[in-house]
Amino acid sequence: MNPHYYAACDLGADSGRVILGTLADGKLTLEEINRFPTGALPVQGTLRWNILRIYEEIKKGLVILSKRGIKISSVSTDSWGVDYVHLYKNEPFLTAPYHYRDTRTDKGFEHAFAVVSAKEIFQETGIQFMTLNTLYQLHADWRERPEVLKLSEQFLFIADYFNFLFSNVKVAEESLASTTQLYNPASHTWSDVLIDKLGLPKRIFPKVVPSATVLGPVAPALAAELGWTETKVVATCSHDTGAAVAAVPGEGTDWAYLSSGTWSLLGIENLKPIINEESREKNFTNEIGIGGSIRFLKNIVGLWIVQESRRAWEKAGQKYTFEELCQQATKAPALRSLINPADPRFAKPNDMPKKVTDYCRETGQPVPETPGEIIRTVYESLAILYSVTLDNLETLTGRKVNHLHIVGGGCKDKLLNQFAANATNRPVLAGPVECTAIGNILIQALAMGDIASHKDLRKVVSDSFPLTTYQPENVAAFAEARKRFTKLPA
């Protein structure tokens, strides 16, 4: 089989990368072309995305690829969910897009529930309640800067925005649209009920297309610059988790996935949304994946706590690699103190080590003092939260989960993987690391007709990337610690 080449622009909340994917003889190889920070930009008391700098970095990677002289079949972008860019005439954007951790939605529930009930929101969308959701961000626009909504002709989500810059096609891909808490996963349409009650203008909501949609050729100016006159732009699963889950090398139905990165997203694939009072009470979410499948999952604050702790220590003059922190955590006392990562304080930036120590002090536990003790506290707490979430998942779906696939950057963390196996009392299969980029690339291949089906897509992943298995250990101690964990406040 002649090789096919694809370009993936994989944007995470902490970093982005342009990756070349080569599909040949049923196997995929990856090459990182350009990696760059994304991150929040503090501006006048707000948190924004420096969207033009990100575009500059993406372009840098694409230019490097263009100089290789290889035929790029297609290009696509994936990104985190919920954030968006307002468009106005021929301007690159109307205003610098907000970061989902900006404080403007701190009272988002209070403001939204004043006009529409939580029950009705969940019945319409089946989406987990988080104040960072697009619903609360757009409602903040309506309250605090109505002039922006009056001028806005349309919004696009982050990945869809870059696909628009590549193709001149303004659409939203369904996996990203489904994260907003304004999209109905049963009818596959925007929720007019919620849009009307929240006073949002319908004209700004983009047309939604399914995953693996070929948007068209690269826009003429960019095609001329890159020499990509035959290259297509594809809307894959534009939501990074959707792309990652599409590439999980699972077989059968007795497995769950954990996309481990800044966020920990734990769930299963399902044929239909599960929208009932129990799933609302447990705060699970129904996001759309490849082929219209449902990603029934829970969003958990993940390695963000570690990333922020590392930044805080570096600011104080103590620079640690993730590997060094993991080594220190290995030597720290086991299951000494726990936090509940669902506590809202851990979702916000700044001085994360102090937040961890304050929480332990407030709950009458030994206070972790060293970086190793703090990281071990975070890892063990995350692992126990995974176990609670998995048990709730089995109850809500009626399905038995016999093993857990961990994918994404966090699957490199051997200590956290082992703790996850211990706490869940299930084997953990770790890998691939770049699962989001893999999903992005192979969905492009599917859209271009180079792969026949989603099943074949997963076989390519299995044949291309080895997995590491972690068997449960020290199960009784983790089960005992879980009893303490369930009494902690969130």
Full pLDDT tens readout for the chain, 490 residues: 689 999 999 999 989 999 999 999 999 999 999 999 998 999 999 999 999 999 999 999 999 999 999 999 999 999 999 999 999 999 999 999 999 999 999 999 999 999 999 999 999 999 999 999 999 999 999 999 999 999 999 999 999 999 999 999 999 999 999 999 999 999 999 999 999 999 999 999 999 999 999 999 999 999 999 999 999 999 999 999 999 999 999 999 999 999 999 999 999 999 999 999 999 999 999 999 999 999 999 999 999 999 999 999 999 999 999 999 999 999 999 999 999 999 999 999 999 999 999 999 999 999 999 999 999 999 999 999 999 999 999 999 999 999 999 999 999 999 999 999 999 999 999 999 999 999 999 999 999 999 999 999 999 999 999 999 999 999 999 999 999 999 999 8
pLDDT for res 39: 87
Q: Distance (Å, rounded) from C-alpha 396 to C-alpha 277?
A: 10
pLDDT for res 214: 98
141 is catalytic: no
Q: Do domains 4-240 and 249-431+452-490 have the same CATH topology?
A: yes
Domain ranges of the chain: 4-240, 249-431+452-490
Q: Residue 486: which residues within 8 A CB-CB, separation 6 or more? A: 388
Tell me if residue 235 falls in helix, strand or coil: strand
93 in Cβ contact with 105 (< 8 Å): no
65 in Cβ contact with 33 (< 8 Å): yes
Tell me if residue 295 falls in helix, strand or coil: strand
How much of the chain is helix, strand and coil, in % rounded to 5? Answer: 45, 20, 35
In which residue are the tokens 């299969």 written? 429
To 5 degrees, how large is the angle CA 41–CA 441–CA 468?
90
pLDDT for res 1: 64
Choosing from 10, 78, 102, 240, which is the catalytic residue? 240
* The CA-based dihedral angle spanning residues 283, 286, 287, 293, taken in that order and rounded to the nearest 10 degrees: 150
- The domain made up of 4-240 has a fold known as Nucleotidyltransferase; domain 5 (3.30.420)
The CA distances from residue 326 to 165, 207, 405, in Å, are 40, 45, 21
Give the CATH class of 249-431+452-490.
alpha beta
Closest by CA to 13, choosing from 50, 56, 63, 65, is 50
Tell me if residue 209 falls in helix, strand or coil: strand
Q: Residue 90: which residues within 8 A CB-CB, separation 6 or more? A: none
pLDDT for res 490: 86
Q: Distance (Å, rounded) from C-alpha 198 to C-alpha 214?
A: 33
Please report, as a single letter, which amino acid is at residue 253.
T
The pTM assigned to this predicted structure is 0.95
262 in Cβ contact with 215 (< 8 Å): no
State CA 73 to chain mean position distance. 26
